[in-house]
Chains A and B, each alone.
Chain A
Amino acid sequence: MLKTFLIGIKDLRLAFRDRAALILMLAAPFVLTLGLGLVTGRFSGSNNSGLSDIPVIIVNLDNDQLGDALADVFTSVELADLMEPAIGSDPEAARQLIDEDEAAAVVIIPEGFTQSIIPQQSAVAAELVKIEVYANPSRPTGAGIVKAIVDEFLSRVEEGRVSGSVSILQLVLSGRITPAQAQVAGAAMTERLQTNTTDSALAITINSSTADGEEVKFDILAYLAPGMALMFLMYTVSYGGRSILAEKTQGTLPRLLVSPTSSTQILGGKIFGIFLTGSAQMLILIGASSLFFQLKWGDPMGVIILVLAAVFGATGWGMFVTAVARTPAQVANVGMSIMLIFGILGGSFVSLDQMPPAIQAFSKITPNAWALDGFTTLALGGTLTNLSAPITALLSMGMILFLVSVLLFGKKNLVQK
């Protein structure tokens, strides 16, 4: 265990001393992010990205304060570039449009939604009515953004339920309900949540008021930066895989094998080294883009866990390539190709929504697509809890690839006979 760790640390150190590797690991993604950011006008203020005008259908059957407020969010000026909302009235017809790939998602706000959250007159708790987002599976990013906006809205409302009056104050300030209505609603909510008048409620209030409305505005860099970082993460994992074969030819692997170190410890150490290097690369890129581009990646916990899952999935690919290839040069070539193919498939250059459905489906084999989906969710204000799909996918991907690689590898490839 200790030796596995020591071998991993050694590899991390070696990777960060290799100038060529550093250029591809850190400089290239950073410069490309910068370049694409300039091209898309991120730094000059206008926002005409590949990710724009996501077609979404709003079916508002609630027609009450909160339902209207959510519909307003989608039609707001702030989201005018990002969203192309259409108003529907029939849920079935709207779902039909999704099935025909006419839109990215339908948001159905059922009747009685507002009533279930803010009871107007009686203090009787109504059964919670849920908003439905009917997503188009072939437009995962677009649908993901719609989901994230709804999640964000709901979490605001949920926070509002906890710190009732302040939330209602916000609704008042934004002109969505009248002060008279607010008084009634506030009283009702306070009654429902008698226990919650503590400091923690206050803290939540502060959070929600400082973050007011900001995350929903989508920064194109929040798509470009992870896209580039993930693409060059594929370089790092193939670099790491290549180092296994390189250690064999440079004699350090045989030397390790004649020391009192088991081959499991050695292979484990090499894999751990890839994982460490990839994680370091991602975290440095995320740190740099936060610092230099003021990019908000979102929930830090979510970002870290997603990075680890993405690197795990990518490391699986690095191992697989290494197990299949025979020489370090082969790993380098295959790794470079995979980096580009996965970069394109995974949406690093062009949003997946603009690709044919077959390619979108195929993109699911890349860690890039899943992780990018996750990063988009986070940038739009989602948290770790919204990431179960990408994280599960990335971890399973890594696991399957590890198993296959170990089977292919065997000890035969590690020690030449």
Chain B
Amino acid sequence: MTNILEVQNLAKNYGDFQAVKGVSFNIEEGEIFSLLGPNGAGKTTTISMLSTLYTPTSGEAVIGGHSVTKDPMAVRGVIGVVPQDLALYEDLTARENLIFWGQMYNLSGKSLNMRVDEVLEQIGLTDKAKNRVKTFSGGMKRRVNIGVGLLHKPRLLFMDEPTVGIDPQSRRAILDTVKDLNKQGMTLLYTTHYMEEAEELSNRVGIIDHGELIALGTQKELTQQVGQAETLILHIGENDDSEALAKSLKGIQGVQQAEAVDHEVSIVCAEAEDVLAAVVTKANERGIKIRSIDIREPNLEAVFLHLTGRALRD
């Protein structure tokens, strides 16, 4: 795998205040990389440096082979940016906005028109294309905001908290769009302070706090790193003896804990896959039918709590 982005000791000071204190990470071509961190962690500042808006105080980043400090114009052709705050002309229609921004990305003529139609389709606003953006709901505006970033089919797309402050339905639509884009081959850098989003979307996650990258890796790597266990939840029949099952499961190697709650048995273990077969066998031996199994991986919320002693959300 080649790296489309390589960041080294990137730092930014606002006056005396160090907003980003030398972060380093790479993004591989084709992956979704999330920067997870609470408000004020330095996510937007990092994106602003990577997108050539702000000059780094120190450090360097190379995107698609171009340095953000030495060749910003070349970098701008590789990246697409979806800013955290809406950046649209409210008195223009959705279509006019897309046309204008497409022109700023050097698109023109027929190919621009076709591309705008495609993007309108993709963000589900084809039939609202001729309405002014100011008449849109928050979720629709967000979708136009995203659409602008897609026009020139960037190889690497930066999305800065694209789901903040919108209804669950629009949020769902945006998360699905992100996954679609990735399936079509786009690499994404996604920032969020919602643990669930990072968990659902990303191949790898960087956890950022107070301008520092405090953890980096796949979700699994991160949770293991802090010694968190997985939880298996067995749903069994109403007449089955969950207490007895729980007791018998405790003998399986790798099972740290097994507890019965109503018609469920929760099993804490290091690695669910390692114990799953033995658990199912034990249940069969006892003639207990398992209706369904949930595997709850330890979450990033717990990781953040472990590393900082604070909850992710304020």
Contacts and interface: CB of A to CB of B under 8 A. Distances in A.
A261 interface: yes
Given A14-B89, A255-B148, A415-B53, A260 B73 contact: yes
B83 A6 contact: no
B106 A255 contact: no
Interface stretch (B96-104, B163-171, B277-285): B96-104
Contacts of A262: 73
B91 interface: yes
Interface in B63-89: 73, 76-77, 79, 81, 83, 85-89
Interface residues of A, number: 21
B81 A255 contact: yes
Nearest to A255: B87
A250 B87 contact: yes
Question: What is the interface residue range for chain B against chain A?
Answer: 20 to 34
Given A3-B104, A10-B100, A417-B14, A258 B91 contact: no
A234 B103 CA distance: 30
A200 B142 CA distance: 66
Interface in A243-257: 250-252, 254-257
A14 B92 CA distance: 7
Interface in A70-101: none
A258 B88 contact: no
Contact of B91 (A18, A255, A259): A18
Nearest to A416: B54
Contacts of B105: 259-260
B89 A6 contact: no
Contacts of B242: none
Contact of A6 (B54, B87, B100): B100
A251 B89 contact: no
A137 B87 CA distance: 52
B87 A251 contact: yes
Nearest to A15: B91
B126 interface: no
B52 interface: yes
A356 B54 CA distance: 52
Nearest to B57: A417
A250 B133 CA distance: 14
A276 to B, nearest CB: 15
Contact of B101 (A14, A18, A259, A417): A259
Contact of A256 (B14, B86, B104): B104
A14 B104 contact: no
Interface in B171-219: none
Contacts of A251: 83, 85-87
B231 interface: no
B228 interface: no
B53 A252 contact: no
A34 to B, nearest CB: 28
Given A14-B89, A256-B104, 12 more contacts: A13-B96, A14-B92, A252-B88, A254-B48, A255-B101, A259-B101, A259-B104, A260-B77, A260-B104, A260-B105, A260-B106, A417-B54
Interface of A: 3, 6, 10, 13-14, 17-18, 250-252, 254-262, 415, 417
